[in-house]
Structure formats: C-alpha cells, structure tokens
Amino acid sequence: MQPKKVLIIDDEALIRKTTELLLKRQNVTAVSSANGTDGLAAAISEKPDLILLDVMMPGENGWEVLRKLKQNSDCAKIPVIMYTAIGDEVTESSARERGAKGILRKPFQMHHFLTMLECSGMEEK
Amino acid sequence: MNVVMHRLKPTLFALSSFLLYVVLLFLLFPHTGGGLGALVVIPATAFSWFFSTRTALMLNILLVFPVNTLLFNLAAGQCRWDILIVHNGIPGSIALILTGLFISYVRNLRDAHKKMQMQLEEKNRQIMMITHSIVHDLKNPLAGFENLFNLLDGCIDSEPELKELIGSAIVSLRYINELLDELMCVARYETGMKKIKVSDNNLPELLCEVETIFRGQLDEKKILFETNLKENILAGDPDELKKVLMNLIGNAIKYCGDAQNPRVWVSSELSENRVLVRVADNGIGIPESERATIFTKFARASNVGSIHGTGLGLAICKAIIEAHHGTIWCESTEGKGCSFCFFLPVIESQNYRSD
C-alpha cells in the first residue's frame, strides 16, 4: 500500500516540524506550509490525502484558508481536519458546519489522527 | 413565582412607605388627616401591583391630598381652608418629605449595592479576559513541546534513565495542558464569551459516547457501568452537556476508591417539567463540610489523597448547567460514595422546537 500523504498548514515552526516528524515515524508522508497561500498551492501541487489546518494563524486564519480550499476545484475534495490547540474554541460540530471533516487537538494525538486518516480513506472509496 | 415576587416587592415597598406616611399623620394630627388619609392610602397602594414603585408613589400623592381635602370638607360641612392647611397640609407635607427621604435613602442604598456588584463583576470579567489571553498564548508552544518530547521518547531507547525523565515530563505537560484547557473553559463562561446552542439531545447516545471514552478505565478498574434512563431527551448544547457527563463520570471512576464492587450508575427522570440526571458511585465520597464548596474553582475534597486533579472540573459543570438555567448539587456519604445530580429545564427544548 502506498503511504498516505498529509499536508500540515501551521504558522508555528515547532508544531509544524514536530508533527511532520511524528507522522513520518508512522510511515505517513508529510509536507508542510507556514501560511494559507503556500498551503493552498501545496494542496494543489502535492495532492495530499488529508490536510491538517491550524485555526489561529496571522494574516489569513484557518477558516479563510478552509473556504479557499473548498472553493478550488483542484483540492475541494481533499478532507480537511482543523488542527487546534484551544480545545474550547473550535468544536467538532462547528468545524463540520464549515466543511471540515473534524478537529484534531494539539498536542498531536496519534491514535485520533490515525482513526481520522483511515476514515478519510474509506469515504473516498 | 418569580413574577409574583417581582410585583409583590414594589407593592410591599409602597405599602410600607405609605403606612409610614399615615402613622406620621396620626402622630402629628390624630383627628383629621391621618384617619382620612388611611382610607385612600390602602386602595391607592394597590396600584403599585400594576405599576412601578415610582408611579405608585405619584398616584398616591395625587390621590391622598385632594381626596383628604374633599373628605375633610364633607365632614366639616364647609370649606375651612385654615384648618385644611394647618391640620392636613403642614403635617402632611412633613410626612411626605420624611417618606420621600426614607424612600430615596433606601433607593440610594440599593443603587450603591448594585453599582458595587457590577464593578466587582466587571473586575472579575477583566481578570478572566487576561487569563483567557495568557492561556491562549501558552497553549501553542506547549503543544509543540509535547510533540517534541513524544518524538524524543521514541528515539532514546538506549538511555533508559533519560527516557524515564522524558516520560514524566510528558505526564507533567499533559497535566498543564488539561489545567489550561479547563481554565480556558471557565474563563469563556465567566467573561460571557461562551454562547451555548440549545438543541434536543439523545441522552443514551451522549452516554454511549462518554462510555466509549472511559471504556478502558472502566475495564481496568473493573467498574460496573449501569444506566437507568426514564427520560431520554436532554435539551442543551451537545458539546457542553457531554463535557458535564464526562466530568461527572470521569470523577466517579477516578474516585472509586477500593470499593468491593465498584459501580457507576447514571439515571434520569422527568420531574416537574425538568429533567433530573444523577451520576452516582460507591467510591470515596465527599466530607459533608466540603459539599457546599466543592463546585468553587480549585476546590478539592480533603480525602482525595494523591489522586491528581485540577479542581476545575466541577466548577465547569456548574457554569455549564447554570448557563442552561439548571441547577447542580452533590449528595454524599463520606466513604460510601456520592451522587451528583443536575436539573435541566425542559422548557428550552420546547422553545427550540417551535423556533
């Protein structure tokens, strides 16, 4: 089976890099971008299986990036998971309302993530 | 009940003020003004049932003087302005001034109290705003550190001592994270930033989700988890209600103590247009003297021993239940377990349905 590819869009280098490394350890290919504009370009060029999108980013925030991702026909179908450190700020239901597949809390929780990755694969088929 | 109290208060207030007025009239001049005034005062006071205290006061003043004058004239059989002014006007004016002073004194006291309360609430809100923004800024880097420690944990198998240290660092970080999450949640409620979205929820489904989360811990501690639900619909914000159930059931599991057959059971029933939910256990319980304060921030029962906790979980439950116009309380016998109960109104869901 070909390893899954995940795109991480987060402005904090420490989060971005550590998440990338944690994913690589699980045999998941990870690429990352530090802002929404780069993230959108990477989503189109890299065609990831899943996007982890930070909510609080300077400039364009996660919700704006999510809207752009969903409007672009090249990447509208890629499932997006909101990646947030603030547990109470984004709820599962509010994320789904705006078109995301769900939320993943920071610090990175491997078992939650792996379930989401599996689910996203199944829905595509 | 509230509506009655709301109307009764100004009425009683007005009635007492005008009885004072009548008493003063009697004292100052017993044969005319006071006695006649009383005939008017009592029916006039009834107006305050329908109007504010101030309106009732105006009505009384407008009614008492002319009617007193009229009655006095009828009784005397002639117009005696001199007696009217001396016997009714002067003591009446003094009585009215005194009544007015009394009313404004009470009003001032009440206003000052209200103002102070508002200032305190505002200060608390400001503190919570600061807390919120500090927690917000701390969460991201902390999450990065935990990721980093998790990475390190996976690649230093050659150095067991260091690995152990990293393990305990991860535990500490998780605790800090939990504390910050809960602090953030309290701050959101206390600053009024939290808006709840009410909908009808299926209680068995909510409980099933919570049970799944705790399944591992329930099995590990061999705790029997039971439900006895006579009412299945719970109106409220699903995410927030889940938080309450998670906190209460999580506590029941955490403080199960060394009971022979540890049990956690959840029941629900409909009672006077409210849903009563009870989460009970046969664990260590809460000492009676601490039951009233157990819902305050950072309060922890004295018998928890070394079981870790932030002391914020129950404060969060209280904030959530109160935001839903419900009440939460605790019943317990120390050493024999405790049950946490909350009432949630059913009315909200009916409103919601009609929306």
User: Chain B: residue nearest A10 by CA?
Assistant: B140
Contact B147 A85 (CB under 8 A): no
Looking at the predicted structure, is the pLDDT value of residue B246 above 60? yes
Contact A56 B188 (CB under 8 A): no
Using an 8 Å CB-CB cutoff, list residues of chain B that contact chain A.
136, 139-148, 150-151, 154, 173, 177, 181, 184-185, 188, 194, 238-239
Mean pLDDT computed over B285-307: 87
Closest CA to B123 of B181, B183, B191, B180: B191
pLDDT of the residue at B5: 63
User: Chain B: residue nearest A21 by CA?
Assistant: B151
Using an 8 Å CB-CB cutoff, list residues of chain A that contact chain B.
12, 14-15, 18-19, 21-22, 25, 56, 85-88, 91-93, 106-108
Contact B147 A56 (CB under 8 A): no
pLDDT of the residue at B71: 63
Q: Using CB atoms, which residue from B136, B146, B194 is nearest to A107?
A: B146
Q: H or E stretch including A104?
A: strand A102-105
Neighbours of B329 (CB within 10 A): 15
Looking at the predicted structure, is the pLDDT value of residue B22 above 80? no
pLDDT of the residue at B158: 87
Interface test with A, best of B131, B133, B135, B140 (most A CBs within 10 A): B140
Can you tell me the distance from the alpha carbon of B259 to that of B280, in angstroms, rounded to the nearest whole number? 14
* Chain B CB contacts of A93 below 8 Å: 238-239
Angle value at C-alpha B99, between B95 and B103, nearest 5 degrees: 175
| Residues whose CB falls within 8 Å of the CB of residue B10, separated by 6 or more in sequence, listed in order | B48, B52, B53, B56
Can you tell me the distance from the alpha carbon of B355 to that of B353, in angstroms, rounded to the nearest whole number? 5
B101-110, B184-193, B267-276, B297-306: lowest mean pLDDT where?
B101-110
Mean pLDDT computed over B199-223: 91
Q: What would the pLDDT profile of A13-66 be if each residue is shown by its tens digit?
A: 999 999 999 999 888 899 999 999 999 999 999 999 999 999 888 888 899 999
Looking at the predicted structure, is the pLDDT value of residue A120 above 80? no
* Chain A CB contacts of B136 below 8 Å: 86
Quote the minimal CA–CA distance from A72 to chain B in Å.
29
Contact A88 B139 (CB under 8 A): no
Contact A107 B173 (CB under 8 A): yes
Can you tell me the distance from the alpha carbon of A51 to that of A54, in angstroms, rounded to the nearest whole number? 10
A109 or B49: which leads in pLDDT: A109
Can you tell me the distance from the alpha carbon of B174 to that of B63, in angstroms, rounded to the nearest whole number? 72
Q: Using CB atoms, which residue from A56, A87, A108 is nearest to B147?
A: A108
Contact B150 A107 (CB under 8 A): yes
Strands of A80-84's sheet in order across: A29-33, A5-9, A50-54, A80-84, A102-105
B225 or B9: which leads in pLDDT: B225
Can you tell me the distance from the alpha carbon of B169 to that of B142, in angstroms, rounded to the nearest whole number? 12
Q: Using CB atoms, which residue from A86, A93, A108 is nearest to B139?
A: A86
Contact B141 A12 (CB under 8 A): yes
* Chain B CB contacts of A92 below 8 Å: 239
Which of A91-105, B13-27, B129-143, B314-328 reaches the highest mean pLDDT?
A: B314-328
- Count contacts between A and B (CB, < 8 Å): 62
Q: What would the pLDDT profile of A61-115 be if each residue is shown by its tens digit?
A: 899 999 999 998 888 889 999 998 876 667 777 888 888 888 888 888 888 888 8
Contact A107 B141 (CB under 8 A): no
Contact B238 A87 (CB under 8 A): no
Interface test with B, best of A88, A97, A108, A110 (most B CBs within 10 A): A88
pLDDT of the residue at A124: 45
Quote the minimal CA–CA distance from B60 to chain A in Å.
55
Q: Is the model's pTM score more than 0.80?
A: no
| Residues A25 and A71: beta-carbon distance below 8 Å | no
Contact B142 A88 (CB under 8 A): no
A33 or B48: which leads in pLDDT: A33
% residues pLDDT > 70 (chain B)? 69
Looking at the predicted structure, is the pLDDT value of residue A125 above 50? no
% residues pLDDT > 90 (chain B)? 32
| Residues B291 and B307: beta-carbon distance below 8 Å | no
Looking at the predicted structure, is the pLDDT value of residue B291 above 90? no
Q: In a 10 Å sphere around its CB, with 0-12 CB exposed, 13-18 middle and 19+ buried, how is residue B286 labelled?
A: buried
* Chain B CB contacts of A15 below 8 Å: 140, 143-144, 147
Q: How is A23-92 classified by DSSP, letter by letter?
A: HHHTT-EEEEESSHHHHHHHHHHH--SEEEEES--SSS-HHHHHHHHHHSTTTTTS-EEEEES-TTTS-H
Contact B141 A14 (CB under 8 A): yes
* Chain A CB contacts of B238 below 8 Å: 93
HEC letters along A81-94: EEEECCCCCCCHHH
Contact A93 B239 (CB under 8 A): yes
Quote the minimal CA–CA distance from A108 to chain B in Å.
6
DSSP secondary structure code for residue A101 in this structure: S
pLDDT of the residue at B349: 46
pLDDT of the residue at B268: 94
Q: What would the pLDDT profile of B308-345 be if each residue is shown by its tens digit?
A: 888 999 999 999 999 999 999 999 877 788 999 999 98
pLDDT of the residue at B355: 36
